[in-house]
Chains A and B, each alone.
Chain A
Amino acid sequence: MSVPSLLFLIFALVGAVFFNLSAAGPWRQAVLLVVNIAFLASFAHDPVAYVPFLGFLAFGFLAQGATREGARPRLFLALVVLMVAAFVWLKRYSFVPKEIFLAFPYLLIGFSYVFFRVLHLLIDSHQGAIERKVGLVSYLNYTLNFTTLISGPIQRYQDFHKMETQRLPLGLVEIGTALERIVIGYFKVAVVSLLLSMVRRQALQHLGTDLSIADRVIGGALIAAVYPVYLYFNFSGYTDVVIGVARFFRIELPENFNRPFSSENAIIFWGRWHMTLSGWLRTYVYNPLMLEGMSRITAPGLVRYISVFCLFLTFFLVGVWHGQTTEFLVFGLLTGGGVATNQLYQVTMQSMLKPKGYRTLAANGVYKALARGLNFTWFAFTQLWFWSTWTQIADIAHTMGPLALGLSALAIYGVATLVLAALAMSRSAILALTWSGAPAVRSRHVRAAQLTALVVITAGVTLLLNAPAPDIVYKAF
């Protein structure tokens, strides 16, 4: 079942109706479990395909139970290593010998997110951050939650469990807000990202060596710059839909995006893009590394550079986690390299200008606009290794030629700087329009009009995309 789709929404609606029929905790846990299993079952018909997935879940459940609250520290470490190894093996990373892979096809849908949830449970449970023993139904509902199974967001078990015990209200306002979130998400996925992907596909199709240099620069810039925007609308739209749907099951999912392209540097950007992933890695990779580094390196000149190394490693893992091929290895190196360079730049500038001087520079409007443009351009560049293969990259580089490539990068930087600055100014201007002391755009009435408009556009596009294309049109005989 694809998310978001009409079928998914109907499925979720039916589930939510049953879920809310009774306020009893066991009823709701049972309904959610049935919904989660039914959702998972929609991805494969062969029961054997589920065996590795369920085996991993069983391993996680037993492991966290066996090492609770500091018990068996050596076993805990071994289990963490084993869990990471099992993940790498089942995900078939390209550096693992093929001979040891399972020979039969099996289900891996949302497996990376399940891995994050299970590993978090194992670590937090061992560290005593989870007060009560995790029950099997609660564990399955948490790890297999159908709203977060495919692409997150990655929720902490503590937050999920709190909602199992403390019922969140579901009144008219909450329902309206959840529906609003679903409509916005569906619009982002079904309309905006669709149009952006069409623009990009066409730019890719039209790119050729017989084009003039100006056309190649425009085409190359479109191909590289549209993808991050498409990805944002697609992924954040998906997140909006699942956040809205989860609310009907009285679950409040964490946010995953917070206007990422308004970030002035890569560090801020990763705090606003796929926030639950970067938050997870900050908690379980960056923070332990920093603590370890600071305990081992005491030389005053070196301490400030520990964070540069730790950031590189953390965001290298962000990149590598996204895929199993060497392209993702480069994506990881560029992502980690970008964040680390950004940190190094900040450390250097602070020592050159002193913290106050650097703060003044960073608050300058023109500097901020240029920094936003640069951050976007860098992200768009790193994404080349995210969406394409080595062959495609080589083809594009060959077709474009070095001059057009360089000019494309400059074009992206210039346009991104201007567009992002214009968006920031427009947003401030719109929010400055107030009504009854609050921004007019946030009023219930303006939002009703906005939502209706989104529904009309989404419905129109969905209908057009599902109606057969007309034949030759004869209107006047």
Chain B
Amino acid sequence: MTEAPTNPVTWRDAWLLPLISFATVLVMLIGAEVAAQIFWPEQKDNSCAVHDDTLLGFHNRPHCVSRMKAAEGPWYTNIYNECGYRSMASCAPVPPGVRRIALIGASISGGHLVEYEHTIATSLGQSLTAMCPVPVQIQNLAASGYTGRKNILRMAEALRLHPQAVIFVQTPVDIESQLDDTLPPITDAILAAPPRVAVRPRKIGKVGLMQQASGIVRESSAVVVAQHFIFSDPSVYIPLFMANGDKAAFLKPPFTPLWQARLARFEELIAALADQAHRANVPFVLVFVPHQAEIAMETGATRPPGVDPLAFPKALEAIAIRHGAVFVDASEILRRQPDPASLYYRVDGHPSGKGQPMIGRSLAEHIASLRPGPFSDCRGPATSGPPPKAS
């Protein structure tokens, strides 16, 4: 063990030792941040996003290509078609002999942070094409931040593409944001011709010192790297996620008044979307993608008391049934994987390039098994697992 120094403390030590400590702190913090940014670079700003829409906030530029990267994942490319959708196929009227599905929703449906080949949309299209007698094309209208009633606008645009089905992918985080919706009432006139006006960047008010410090810590790459390793242990991650208070309360039935209000608002949204789809005579599918904490609880780690991961999807399923929508719970397939925690970016929380294709394939099996339906001539699930759940 270390021994006490025998020489007495000198006046020089009185300033030199604190200086050494201060220099050490600086070198460590700066060194860790620089190293993290070099070895775990991150690019989450999409250069294709044009802030030209008062309602949606932004559109992706047609025929645009951008490169993005999560600190925890690989570099990937976004390629947008002539309509600004993340699809390789043209958004022009669908060619004869080809079926089309439109995907709406936020970041997860948009394939945020994963390569095109690994998105839900791509694996859904590929799987259905393999199962059906004709090719199936996906038009992906989803993008990060398209939450809440913005999807009513997207649904209208999706229906103009004359798809055989519209799929709406949602996570607990998307539903949590329901109460933050500040959009004005969406009228038929707006739906017919959505206004496209340049949006001025919002002025950020004065930020306090503590907020600034917490912002720096939140944005720090070194913190992301440290969290990535710490969260690899579900028994550490789950209690920390549950410490989020109300944000995590969707896992604990009965739902809090706030979550009940969110679910009520979500039901209004589903009612509106289903109504749009039904008027166009297009099947509407609601897909639930679980939070990574729900999946981490399947890895053998102790489940906190009162937690029921099935309660939330059951509530969503009931909403879908009430409004004539097909409900697909992606947690069923994710839960069955040998290492389900690896299907998500641990810190970022989005499904990774491993998790998204799994959701896409599972979704394809559900859609192909719908009887009757536009895909009823497709082969059923290729796997020998339990029958898919569709209501």
Which partner residue on chain B sits nearest A240 by CB separation? Answer: B1
A353 within 8 A of B: no
Q: How far is the CA of A245 from the CA of B57 in the complex (A)?
A: 58
Q: Does B321 contact A (CB under 8 A)?
A: no
In contact, B29 and A476 (Cβ under 8 angstroms): no
User: Could you say which of B5, B107, B240 contacts A468, with CB atoms under 8 Å apart?
Assistant: B240
Instruction: Name B3's closest neighbour in chain A (CB-CB).
Output: A442
Q: Which residues of B sit under 8 angstroms from A180, Cβ to Cβ?
A: 2
18 sampled A-B residue pairs with Cβ under 8 A:
A172-B9, A173-B9, A180-B2, A198-B232, A198-B236, A447-B5, A448-B17, A451-B21, A461-B230, A468-B244, A470-B227, A470-B349, A473-B347, A473-B349, A473-B350, A475-B44, A476-B44, A477-B145
- Chain A residues 443-477 with CB under 8 Å of chain B are 443-445, 447-449, 451-453, 456-457, 460-461, 464-465, 467-477
Contact A470–B236 (Cβ < 8 Å) = no
Q: Are A206 and B45 within 8 A (Cβ)?
A: no
Closest Cβ–Cβ distance, residue A267 to chain B (whole Å) = 22
Q: A464-B230, A468-B240 are in contact. Are A177 and B347 (CB under 8 A)?
A: no
Please name all residues of chain B whose beta carbon is closer than 8 Å to the beta carbon of A202 when the two chains form the complex.
Answer: 232-233
Given A173-B4, A201-B233, A469-B237: A474 and B145 interface contact (C-beta under 8 Å): yes
Given the interface pairs A173-B5, A473-B349, the reply to whether A456 lies near B223 with Cβ below 8 Å is no
Contacts of A131 in B (CB 8 A): none
B233 touches A477 (CB 8 A): no
**Closest A residue by C-beta to B8:** A173
Instruction: For the complex formed, measure the closest distance between the CB of A476 and the CB atoms of chain B, giving whole angstroms.
Output: 4
CB-defined contacts of B389 to chain A, threshold 8 Å: none
Q: Does B20 contact A (CB under 8 A)?
A: yes
Whole-angstrom distance between the alpha carbons of A445 and B176 in the complex? Answer: 52
Chain A: minimal CB distance from B49 (Å): 7
Give the total of B residues in contact with A, Cβ under 8 Å.
60
Residues of B within 8 A of A461 (CB): 226, 230
B13 within 8 A of A: yes
Which one, A201, A444, A453, A476, contacts B49 given CB within 8 A? Answer: A476
Contacts of A173 in B (CB 8 A): 4-5, 8-9
User: Looking at chain A's contact residues, is the secondary structure mostly helix, strand, loop, or mixed?
Assistant: helix
A81 to chain B, nearest CB (A): 38
CA distance A157 to B348 in the complex (A): 56
Whether A468 contacts B21 by the Cβ 8 Å rule is no
Bound-complex Cα distance A467 to B3 (A)? 36
B77 proximal to A (CB < 8 A)? no
Residues in chain A within 8 A of chain B (CB atoms): 172-174, 176-177, 180-181, 184, 195, 198, 201-202, 205-206, 208, 210, 240, 255, 258, 442-445, 447-449, 451-453, 456-457, 460-461, 464-465, 467-477
Contact of B28 among A255, A442, A456, A473 (CB under 8 A): A456
B2 contact from A210, A447, A469, Cβ within 8 A:
A447
Tell me, in angstroms, the Cα distance from A452 to B236 when the chains sit together.
Answer: 26
Distance, CA A461 to CA B225, complexed state (A): 12
Chain B residues whose C-beta falls within 8 Å of the C-beta of A476 in the assembled complex: 44-46, 49, 68, 144
A444-B233 in contact (CB<8A): no
Expressed in whole angstroms, the Cα–Cα distance for A172 and B29 within the complex equals 29
Residues of A within 8 A of B300 (CB): 205
Inter-chain contact A464/B227, CB cutoff 8 Å: yes
Report whether B46 and A469 are in contact in the complex, using a CB–CB cutoff of 8 Å: no
Bitwise, B297-340 to A at CB < 8 A (1) or not (0) is 00110000000000000000000000000000000000000110
Residue among B5, B44, B173 making CB contact with A471, cutoff 8 Å? B173
Q: What residues of chain A lie closer than 8 Å to B1, measured between beta carbons?
A: 181, 240, 255, 258
B129: Cβ under 8 A from any A Cβ = no
Out of A208, A444, A451, name the residue touching B13 (CB < 8 Å): A444
